[in-house]
Amino acid sequence: MLVKAPRGTADLLPGQIERWRWVEEVARDVFRQFGYAEIVTPIFEHTELFERGIGDTTDVVNKQMYTFLDRGQRSLTLRPEGTASVVRAYLEHHMYSGPQPVKLFYIGPIFRYERPQAGRYRQFHQLGAEALGSQDPALDVEMIAMSIEIFRRLGLADFLVHINSIGCEVCRPAYKDALRAYLQPKLDGLCRTCFERYEKNPLRILDCKVAACQDAAKGAPRSVDYLCESCREHFDAVQKYLDALGISYELNEMLVRGLDYYTKTVFEVESRSLGAQSALLGGGRYDGLVEECGGPSTPAVGFAAGMERAMLALEEQGIQAPSTRGVDAFVVAFANDKRGQVLALVHQLRQAGLVVETDYLQRSMKAQMKAASRMNAARVIICGEDELSRDVVQLRDMTSGVQEEVPLATLVERLRAELC
C-alpha cells in the first residue's frame, strides 16, 4: 500500500511552485516598500501561547489545534495562526523598548484541524503583517492598502473590501448585552456551536454560516451603534483615510472575525471570482493582545492572507507567473572515454552562470536532440569524439537552426555574451 500525503495537505509541484514563489516575491516587495521587515518564528509554540492569545472560546483553539506532548512532556502546538507568535517574539526580544511602531511581516505554513474542501486545508500558508506600538488609524488603513496592493500587483483586482468596528473593552460589554438580549428569544433555534457561543462570545453568532443562525442574526443590533467615543473617532478616521486613498469598501456589520483578540477595526477582503471559500485575507486591530501575553499595554494591527486562496484566484483568472529563465544549453553527451571532458564542460558552463542540462540515460543523439527541444533549450552543444579530439564542439542555435563549429576555448565566453 502506498502511503499518501495526510488529508488536508498538498504537495507543491514543479509547474505550481513558480506561481507560488512569484506571489511570495510580489508580497515581499510590497511589504518592504511599506516599511515592514521579515520575521521567521518557529512553526510550533507552547500551547499556552495560543490558548491565552487567541482565546479559549474560539473554534481555532477549541477544535482545530494540532497539539501534542513532546518527549519532555511539554504541550506544544503547531501554529494555527501567525499573530500570537509575532507578539511573543516582540516581547521576548524587547522590541517594545526600541522605536515604535515595529512593523513586521511573515510568510509560512499554518495548521488547523478543519474539514478539508476546495480552498480549505489542514496545512495551509499565510502571508501576513503586524504593526505594533501605535494606535494611529493610519496604520489600520496602511494594512488594508498594503494587502490589496499585493493582490493588485498580481493582477487580481476583482475583490471587495469589508470593514467593521467591533469596539473595545469599554464599549463591547454593552454591545454584547444588547446582542444577547436580541438573540435570547431565538436561542433554541441556533446551531449547537452558536448556542454555546451565546454566553461567552455572542459576536461570533453573527458570522455563523448555518442558515438558522443567519436568520436569527438578521436585524440584530450593530456594533457600530454601540461604539464609545474613542472607537467612534477611530473608525471615522479609518473611513476618512480609506476615502482619501481612493480605496472602496463596504461597511459590513456582520463582520466580526473568528479570533477573540480583535478590537476596533476588523476587515476582510473577498474575491469575487472564488466560490464558497472566498476570503482572501482578514485582519484587524488587537490593542489588548500584547498585554494579554504578559507585555506592556501596546496597541497593534495586522492581517493575514491565505496563499492557497491567492493561488486559486490566480488560476480562476488564468494568470500565470512571469516566465522564469529556461534552459540555456543542452549538452549532448555520449558514453565514451571522453565523458569526463563533457561533464567538465557542463560544470564549467554552469559555473559561468548558464542554465545547462545534459543526458543521463545514454540516449541516442536523436533522442537527446528531442529532449533538448522539449526543454526549449536555446542552444545544443554536441560533443562528438572527433570534435573533442580537435578541442571543438558543434554549437546549434535551436531558434534559427544554424549549426557551426566552435573552439572550446571561446565557447563559454561566447555563450555568456549571447545568453546571460
CB of 59 to ligand AMP, least distance (A): 9
158 CA to centre of own chain: 18
- Nearer Cβ to ligand AMP (277/348): 277
Q: Which residues pair with 124 in a beta bridge?
A: 110
Phi-psi category of residue 146: left, alpha or beta, with phi > 0 → left and psi -120 to 50 → alpha: alpha
Smallest distance from the beta carbon of 361 to ligand AMP, in angstroms?
40
- How far apart are alpha carbons 75 and 48 in whole angstroms? 8
Q: What's the closest the beta carbon of residue 81 comes to ligand AMP, in angstroms? A: 5
Beta strands in 137-278 (DSSP E): 159-165, 250-251, 263-271
Return the number of the residue (304 or 395) whose C-beta is nearest ligand AMP.
Answer: 304
Kindly tell me which of 50 and 121 has the beta carbon lying closer to ligand AMP: 121
Q: Could you tell me the CA-to-CA distances from 250 to 13, 239, 333 in Å, in that order?
A: 37, 10, 63
Q: How far is the CB of 278 from ligand AMP (least distance, A)?
A: 9
Segment holding 240, helix H or strand E: helix 229-244
88 neighbors 41 (Cβ within 8 angstroms): yes
Give dist(CA 123, CA 108) in Å, integer.
10
| Neighbouring C-alpha atoms within 13 Å toward the C-beta of 225 | 10
Grid-cell match 571561446, residue found: 410
Q: Could you say which DSSP state residue 138 is in?
A: H
Q: At 284, list the grid cell.
A: 484587524
Nearer to ligand AMP, 221 or 283 (CB): 283
Q: How far is the CB of 105 from ligand AMP (least distance, A)?
A: 14
Block residue for cell numbers 489600520:
140
- Shortest distance (Å) from residue 305 CB to ligand AMP: 6
Closer Cβ to ligand AMP, 257 or 379, answer by number? 257
Residue 58: CB minimum distance to ligand AMP, A: 10
Q: Which is nearer to ligand AMP, 292 or 387 (CB)?
A: 292
Nearest in space to 215 (alpha carbons), one of 225, 224, 205: 205
For ligand AMP, give the closer residue by CB, 80 or 295.
Answer: 80
- Looking at the Cβ atoms of 156 and 371, the one nearer to ligand AMP is 156
Question: Whole-number minimum distance, CB 272 to ligand AMP, in Å?
Answer: 14
Q: Which residues of this protein are in contact with ligand AMP, per CB under 6 A?
A: 81, 112, 114, 119-121, 124, 126, 258, 279-282, 304-306, 308-309
d(CA 367, CA 92): 59
**CB closest to ligand AMP, residue no:** 306
Residue 21, CB-side half-sphere exposure with 13 Å CA sphere: 10
